[in-house]
Amino acid sequence: MYQAAETRYDKMSYQRCGASGILLPRISLGLWHNFGEPDDYETARAMLRRAFDLGTTHFDLANNYGPPYGAAETTFGKIFKEDFKGYRDELLISTKAGWDMWPGPYGDHGSRKYLIASLDQSLKRMGLDYVDIFYHHRPDTSTPLEETMGALDQIVRSGKALYVGISSYNPEQTRQAAKILRDLGTPCLIHQPKYNMFYRQPEQGLFEELKKNGMGSIVFSPLAQGVLTDRYLSGFPEDSRAVRDGRYLRPDFIKEEQLDKVHALKKIADARGQNMAQLGIAWVLRQEEVTSALIGASKVAQIEDAVNALSNLEFSPDELTQIEQILTH
């Protein structure tokens, strides 16, 4: 029977999420990949155990994570029942809805019907009474924002989620969503945007909007799906996601100029005593509005590696200048 490490809170650092009472671990674990039906169950179980033993208290899911859709929540639910049920109050568990999930007009986007039905399904798959955070997974311009945010408010009031968040909303959409939720009496806790060295769109107004509205952020794809690691510097390993999966990352997606920049960035990482992945994580966490970096993993060692990045989060002005020059040239 799994017993969590007594030292689980010794190394992890935690940061307040916006203006809320919630602290997030600086490293959170996402179950987007490697928790579906084709994936090894015992590896998935080992990764969740090790993450929690290292102080990662936040596990992030979505209704359509798999494959197939729903499989990651089912896998998590089984592991939760076996290993984590006694630690429920030490965990922050999130899920989302907003992308296509089931056939027909009611299984996608942002309607009240879809969001509430999807969360009910997610809770059943995971064997939970509630999630800590429920997100609208992407903006939906075909549904009035008042309806979508009203559904999030209703979900909190029904006790099925403690907090709500949004993902991939632009600054103006974020401002409007935050105002609607604030007026309803359910503040928007958190935003989940994509952010990494190669994708810096949140710097163009989103982070400022989050600060104005007292929201935290948890950034996904902080390592550009593995491109900002040592993984592809010498080709494409057979066990890499770019070769093995190919749904979201293929060798032809990775540009030569990106790899040239990674080679240059690796020299800075080496001088800091870090590998490339640790540099990429430290770089996103340098941004004060970033509460947590949301990592994916296919093996335990990658989680350990990410947590070790926390031992060196400080950048000198010279390092930041060098990184900026590499990224903008």
Q: How far, CA to CA in Å, does 13 sit from each of 16, 20, 82, 134, 268?
A: 10, 17, 27, 23, 24
Predicted confidence at residue 149, as pLDDT, reads 98
Q: How far apart are CA 96 and CA 228, in angstroms?
A: 26
The 3-class SS string of 21-69 reads CCEEECEEEECCCCCCCCCCHHHHHHHHHHHHHCCCCEEECCCCCCCCC
> Number of helices and strands (H, E) in the chain?
11, 10
Amino acid identity at 248? Y
Which residues are paired to 165 by β-bridges? 135, 190
Contact by Cβ (8 Å): 233, 262: yes
Q: How far apart are CA 325 and CA 329, in angstroms?
A: 6
pTM score, two decimals?
0.94
Which overall architecture, per CATH, does domain 14-328 show? Alpha-Beta Barrel (3.20)
Which residues are paired to 272 by β-bridges? none
3 state SS of 255:
coil
Q: Tens of pLDDT along 111-141? A: 999 999 999 999 999 999 999 999 999 999 9
**pLDDT tens digits for the chain (329 residues)?**
999 999 999 999 999 999 999 999 999 999 999 999 999 999 999 999 999 999 999 999 999 999 999 999 999 999 999 999 999 999 999 999 999 999 999 999 999 999 999 999 999 999 999 999 999 999 999 999 999 999 999 999 999 999 999 999 999 999 999 999 999 999 999 999 999 999 999 999 999 999 999 999 999 999 999 999 998 887 555 555 554 555 554 556 678 899 999 999 999 999 999 999 999 999 999 999 999 999 999 999 999 999 999 999 999 999 999 999 999 98
